[in-house]
Amino acid sequence: AITFFHNTDYKHSAHKRGQGICDGLTLSFLYLFLSTGSTVALKLIRKDRTRLESFLQELHVSVLVGRHDSIIYTYPIHVLALDHFLIVQDFAPCGTLHSIIEPRNGVPEEKMKRCAEQLASALWYMHSKHQLIHGDLKPDNVLLMDKDCHQIKLADFGHARSIGQLVGRMSHIIPHMCPEICCLQENEYLYLTQSVDVWAFGILLYVALTGYFPWEKALELDHCFNVFAEWQNGGDYAAPPNGWETFTGEAMGMFSSLLTLDPVTRSTFEHFSGFLQSPWRTDGLIDHVVVEGEAFLVTTEEGLDQILIIPGDNEMILIETEGNVEYVEIEETVEESEDILLPQSFLSLSKEAV
């Protein structure tokens, strides 16, 4: 049930919330709720540009899914106001994921992994428990309870739809939109599936980790998308396209499953946690190399204790990580014989252990 309140039951705080402006339709403020004394975020949606049915749909979905730990809690109340529909939600004090993405650099991997794990859980909850898709997954709609992403909240359910609902051609194509929607023509429709959110999630991860979009639109006329599509169709041994070289093989496997061109075979969020165990970025994996006779001893910064490179026709390296040892074949090396700081391309390692 939705409880109705008049605008005399709350008062405006001195601070605006650092998110929530979207196409001139919505704006979020901090308010002090007089009945409880708690500070909440009040989302204002313009009545002259929003149908009552659409507002009630967003309010209903927001309340329904807000029980999940990684989804913003929405109070089951509707505040009566003259010019706006209003939604009362918990306040996220640290802004949005978008606010911490450094242009061309992105967000540190470990921080993003914490965020991604919670997001995947929230989306899987929506898909499996309520048969709903979010429909507008992007950094602006991920709220931060702290700057290190120990607790994040998925928000903004104005585009949420039931799985199986028909959708037609969009008036605007945006970078995180999946190709099956981008390519819809006039009077063409498709049934929405969870794959729409999975694709947007893959784009969100790329943007958060790099600080830029991989392409402008998922259409053949976009060169960057075309190159990626060719890589997707090239099999396991295709070289990563430009703009993706800083990701590890495991991360590229993750992106390949999230951004599979065919929505039917695209991944789900059920087993996403498996991708969190492997490094995503090649940056920082290797610190320096020391030459001892014919063997190279490589010291690493993250995860690996040491790598011993033994020269030969088929050069192999011994990797020791917390007592676990495996052999990996080297595909590329450098020839410097002194202590050096290595470029990120120092080693390109195959994933096959011997």
The set of residues, in sequence order, having a beta carbon less than 8 Å from that of 56 and lying 6+ positions away, is none
Which member of 23, 83, 136, 287 is catalytic? Answer: 136
Q: 136 an active-site residue?
A: yes
- Give the distance, in angstroms, between the CA of residue 164 and the centroid of all CA atoms in the same chain: 23
Q: Helix/strand/coil (H, E, C) string of the chain?
A: CCEEEEHHHEEEEEEECCCCCECCCEEEEEEEECCCCEEEEEEEEEHHHCCHHHHHHHHHHHHHHCCCCCECCECCEEEECCCEEEEEEECCCCCEHHHHCECCCECCHHHHHHHHHHHHHHHHHHHHHHCEECCCCCHHHEEECCCCCCCEEECCCCCCEECCCEEECCCCCCCCCCHHHHCCCCCCEEECCCHHHHHHHHHHHHHHHHCCCCCCCCCCCCHHHHHHHHHHCCCCCCCCCCCCCCECHHHHHHHHHHCCCCCCCCCCCCCHHHHHHCCCECCCCCCEEEEECCEEEEECCCCCCEEEEECCCCCEEEEEECCEEEEEEECCCCCCCCCEECCCCCCCEEEEEC
Per-residue b/e over 121-135, b at no fewer than 16 CB within 10 Å?
bbbbbbbeeeebbbb
Active-site residue list: 136
